[in-house]
Amino acid sequence: MKEPVVQGSSAVKSDEVFTYKEYKTWPDDQRWELIEGRPYSMSPAPTPKHQRFLGVLNSQLENFFSGKPCRPYLAPVDVILVVELEDQEDSRTVVQPDAFVVCDPSKLVDEGIIGAPDFVIEILSASTAMKDQGEKRILYEKFGVKEYWVVNPLTYEVLRYFFREGKFGLAVPADLRNPVEVSLFPDLFLSVKPEDL
DSSP letters for 43-90: PSPPPHHHHHHHHHHHHHHHHHHTTSS-EEEESS--EE---TT--GGG
Cβ atoms of 75 and 99 closer than 8 Å: yes
Superfamily the domain 45-196 falls into:
tt1808, chain A (3.90.1570.10)
Alpha-carbon dihedral sign for residues 178, 169, 153, 120: positive
Domain residue limits, the chain: 45-196
Q: What percent of the chain has pLDDT over 70?
A: 92
pLDDT in tens, 44-101: 888 899 999 999 999 999 999 999 999 999 999 999 999 988 889 999 999 999 999 9
* Average pLDDT, rounded, for the chain: 89
- Range 120-131 average pLDDT: 83
Confidence bin at 143 (pLDDT 50/70/90): very high
pLDDT at residue 13 is higher than 50: no
Confidence bin at 189 (pLDDT 50/70/90): very high
pTM of the model: 0.90
pLDDT at position 15: 67
